Amino acid sequence: MSAAIRLAWRGQGHVEPNPMVGCLIVRDGVVIGEGYHAKFGGPHAEVAALQSLDSVDDARGATAYVTLEPCCHFGKTPPCADALVDAGVGRVVIAMQDPFEQVAGGGITRLRAAGIGVTVGVLGDEAAAMNAPFIKRVREGRPWVIAKWAMTIDGRIATESGESQWITGASSRAAVHQLRGRVDAIVVGMGTVIADDPMLDARPPGARVANRIVFCRRRLPGIDSKLVRTAAGVPLWLVAGPEVDAEKLRQLASLGAKVIPVATGDGVGMVDQAIGELAKNGATNVMLEGGGELLSSFFAANQVDECHVYIGAKAFGGAAAPGPIGGVGVASLDQAWRFELRELDRFDGDVRLIYRRSAD
């Protein structure tokens, strides 16, 4: 199952909003077939594994190890549970049940009804961690939110005068572009748009072209901004509060921007009202690239699931030099947002720490 999970990870960025799934077919302890869900709309892992066999008869009586319950409904592809039944496998070992309501145990029932032995729960926690974004979207109707920032060893994201480019080196920035190339949306606030005039694209392009989302409390991007100039070809969404200029908003919509109106200009309220719309529009993974105020709104709304923290080998000092999360913060230690370290990587002289929200 561990090998099947490693195989499933290859689909990251290519299969969303579907989950990542891997499958091995084993006979007498020897792997005779393997496959993973490689592309949205393409063959699922079980079918890919069956297709990899030397002969269609090789699956008969063999054991299939699958990281997620085989589907039992007709979607983009036929049911995988039926494919395993038709192939004559003797046993199926499943890491976890699929939370999607059109499956949710139905695939397991289908296999058992055909006389196939089924074991569920092998490395289930590891499989669930891999597909945590998919699970959150299915169960809560909200996307997985990744906050990214770069800071110095003394926790500053800019000098007192506002300089921030570059805190980290070229290798770290390349890793950020890889992340941009696998998420469904990149979110910034108007402060970032005004300060940097960003494109919010991945260079080189990745598996996905992210929707570019700007939270607009009072101000809107200029017509000459890179985001607006490219809105006809690359999706631009404006989460617009009630205080923005309505006429200018209509003008930006005519130039290709999609408007998500919200009834409040309060940062936390804007997050609460807008984030569900992102999932409805197919977003599984959302990346925050905004400044401290945007991050503070998402943290205060309890909508940050994962943090990618890049630490450059520099120190700025200065009492007024900003840190990554603005706003008022928490009043006491027991109110702190808690995370668990999942990964540590080095990029030349920089360090990347990946945290996930603690279950406690």
SS3 assignment, position 89? coil
Domain CATH code at residue 225: 3.40.430.10
Same domain, yes or no, for 77 and 158? no
Structure tokens that stand for 318 in this block: 């200065």
Same domain, yes or no, for 305 and 170? yes
pLDDT band for 76, please (50, 70, 90 cuts): low
* Polymer length in residues for the chain: 360
Residues making up the binding site for NADP(+): 150, 166, 192, 196, 291-297
What is the structure's pLDDT at 56? 84
Same domain, yes or no, for 163 and 255? yes
Cα angle value 73/74/75 (rounded, 5°): 110
Average pLDDT (191-195) is: 93
Task: Give pTM, 2 decimals.
Answer: 0.94
Same domain, yes or no, for 204 and 122? no
Task: Write out pLDDT tens, residues 261-318.
Answer: 999 999 999 999 999 899 988 899 999 998 899 999 999 999 999 999 999 999 999 9
Same domain, yes or no, for 118 and 259? no
Same domain, yes or no, for 3 and 151? no
Residues making up the binding site: 44, 71, 80, 150, 164, 166, 180, 192, 196, 200, 203, 289, 291-297
Beta-bridge mates of residue 117: 91
Same domain, yes or no, for 118 and 170? no
Task: Write out pLDDT tens, residues 143-175.
Answer: 999 999 999 999 999 999 989 889 999 999 999
Same domain, yes or no, for 194 and 342? yes
Same domain, yes or no, for 129 and 145? no
- Say how many CA atoms lie within 13 Å of 307 toward its Cβ: 24
Average pLDDT (41-66) is: 95
Residues making up the binding site for substrate: 164, 180, 200, 203, 289
Domain CATH code at residue 97: 3.40.140.10
Nearest one of 311, 317, 314, 324 to 351, comparing CA atoms: 311
Domain count within the chain: 2
Residue that finishes a domain, picked among 81, 103, 133: 133
**Residue 342 identity:** R
Instruction: Give catalytic residue positions.
Output: 46
- Phi first, then psi, for residue 115 (nearest 5°) are 85, 15
pLDDT, the chain, mean: 95
Segments forming the whole domain that contains residue 14: 1-133
pLDDT at 75 over 70: no
